Amino acid sequence: MKTFCGRANPTTGALDWVEESEEYDYHQEIARSCYADMLHDHDRNKKYYQGIRAAVSRVKARGEKVIVLDIGTGTGLLSMMAVTAGADFCYAVEVFKPMAEAAQSIVEKNGFSDKIKIINKHSTDVTVGPDGDMQTRANILVTELFDTELIGEGALPSYEHAHQNLVQLGCEAVPHRATIYAQLVESELLWSWTQLQPVEVEGTHLVPPPSVGRCAGAHSVCDIQLSQVSPGSFTPLGPLCTMFSVDFSKPVSSAFQSHSSQFVVQSSGRAQVVLSWWDLDMDPSGSIVCTMAPSWTYPEPRMAPWRDHWMQSVYFLPVESRVTAGEELSLTVCHDDYSLWYSLQSHSQQDSHTRALPSRPCCTCQAHLVWTRPRFGELNDRQRTESFVSALRSVLREDSVCLGISDGSLLPVFAHMLGAKKVFGLENSRMSKQVIEQVLEANSLKGAVELLEIRPDQLCSNDLGGKQISVLMGEPYFSTSLLPWHSLFFWYCRTALAGLLLPNATILPCSATLHMLAVEFQDLWRIRAPCGTCEGFDVTPMDEMVQKSLDFRESLEAEPHPLWEYPCRALSDSAAVMTFDFTQCVPQQPVSSQGSLPFRRTGRCHGVALWMEYHLTTDITVSGGLIGPISEQGDCEWSRHRKQGIYFLRSPWEISGEGRAAVSYSFTFDPSLGDIRMDFSMESH
């Protein structure tokens, strides 16, 4: 059955009504899932297998029948490990129906149907008894309910319920315990992701609103591949602290808790950020450990296992504070049933019985709701800001009437500071409008920019006081953009506003180019690679399920990834493959581009990286992708502010010699859809 769905088009700004299969949503979820990444995580799999074998042995040594409960079974891998290790029976719980069906196929394919029962329910709905889902309570509890923050997927409530209703008292749990670690650091880079820094324009400092500086920020964790954050970009102020452990073999509580760790400051500086990760002890003795520690904590960083399903966490303190070497401090972590937050106290504050624990961070300034963390970083990028200021300086005149089109942008403020006669700014929401108003007020510029909460296609001359626009400007940045070319929404806005522009109006940026690069990923390829056999078990039904979902719609579409977190080698030069001329209106007919790009290096081509570059003027460009030259070895430096588009090949291409092969490409921009269709093939010479 098919249904009509209304979907906001991020490029055209229109509400598109499209016919979708009722299976669309779960195909999307499977296509974008991390199932393959998890199964490719050999370190995780091996440690789980060792822990399960040890737990089964301990229960058997007690002379008991081994009954396993596997919550969040996914493919059924851990249940099959348990049976192979000698478990008598496994109850494997999986709430996501397509995954439960895949697990059933995998269990049958591997010959475990008589020992494993797949239960397609949430674990809190599972019943125990003669007529229940489980005949009896389990004496081994196996789970993989964790996310980067450990508890963000509801692990604590699930464990709490399981101990009360589904497992025996004194059961063995795999993993046995989790331990969370944290380190206090100073980092200009990381702090720039949560606080607006002062900006200098024409010798005048634009300062952030006080409300932003006082705000504790967004409550959600910042989860990143911390291995890609160079130790040179932060200064440890204290040692790595053990914050708390959760013993999964005993009853678990999901109630609010706090834990503190005292330490002596090792280096004077500004306490700003807490870096955090966790370990899993798969057995009670702690001899089987699966750690999420970043690679730079390893003696040999290359030996660190890579995983994308579990990364590391960055927490921003509510306010930065000066600390002095030798000072005694206390780092406190609080958690509810699904999130963690940190605070810092002096030793004397920690001893105070009246000290109130901080509640979960909540944005009070609105800026952290309008600007994402990469967006904060983009606004704080001095080099990028200077590019925009230089470009504006070159086009503004004393009589310039400017209109800014970007979400939560400082460009209209810059235009006023540079001497424009009149500046308007279009904002997509009341909240982003209020944030820019706060910036203006904090700098005694209230009313200097007239902010309008109006859609571009609804703007009329009266809204502009009868004035015509001489400078139309944008970064462009829009909160609805996922893929690089979604920012072409600026082009559609420019087209809708054509009647309000002076004939010789300046458009900034004047054009954009779509760039591509053939790449070999160091690790990211794992999220798309079929597994086949995993730790000796045939999981091809899962491969088939994922491929079916990719074929459903996604296989010809790129997906967004921040490539600064995912190292890759360039196998070709970069090339501009499409140009969009913003000085003209959006064309009526589709625009196509074809060509080929020779491979320059040998390797395995996993896909193509795509990004936009915006030409502010004829000689000033800002890139949403590569921000430096490609090294001789093919190493790339990527923007931290924007995600790039990645088109994964169905299977890698082996590139054996320079100049002997090329990637052939075809792009078509459809103005009616605001989308870019693309196709790639390899041609040999």
**CA pseudo-torsion sign 57, 59, 63, 66:** negative
Q: Which listed residue (94, 144, 149, 172) is catalytic?
A: 144
In contact, 280 and 178? CB cutoff 8 Å: yes
Residues 289 and 183: their CA atoms lie apart, in Å, by 20
- Taking a C-beta distance cutoff of 8 angstroms, is the pair 116, 107 a contact? yes
Of all helices (H) and strands (E), which one includes residue 458? none
Count the helix, strand and coil residues of the chain and give each as a percent rounded to the nearest 5.
25, 35, 40
Residues whose CB falls within 8 Å of the CB of residue 256, separated by 6 or more in sequence, listed in order? 334, 335, 336
Pairing type for strands 241-247 and 177-186 reads: antiparallel
Position 420: which residue type? A
Can you name the residues that pair with 242 across neighbouring β-strands?
Answer: 181
- The rounded Cα 493 to chain-centroid distance in angstroms is 28
Distances (CA, A) of 283 to 139, 140, 157, 181: 15, 12, 22, 19
Which one is catalytic: 20, 23, 108, 153?
153
User: 316: which residues sit within 8 A by CB, 6+ positions away?
Assistant: 190, 191, 193, 194, 217, 222, 272, 273, 274
- DSSP-based three-state secondary structure for 81: helix
The tokens 């101990």 sit on which residue? Answer: 163
Nearest to 412 by CA among 450, 438, 386, 381: 450
The answer to whether residue 554 is catalytic is no
Annotated active-site residue 153? The verdict is: yes
The tally of CA atoms less than 13 A away on the side-chain side of residue 60 is: 13
Contact status, residue 396 vs residue 420, Cβ threshold 8 Å: yes
Residues designated catalytic: 144, 153
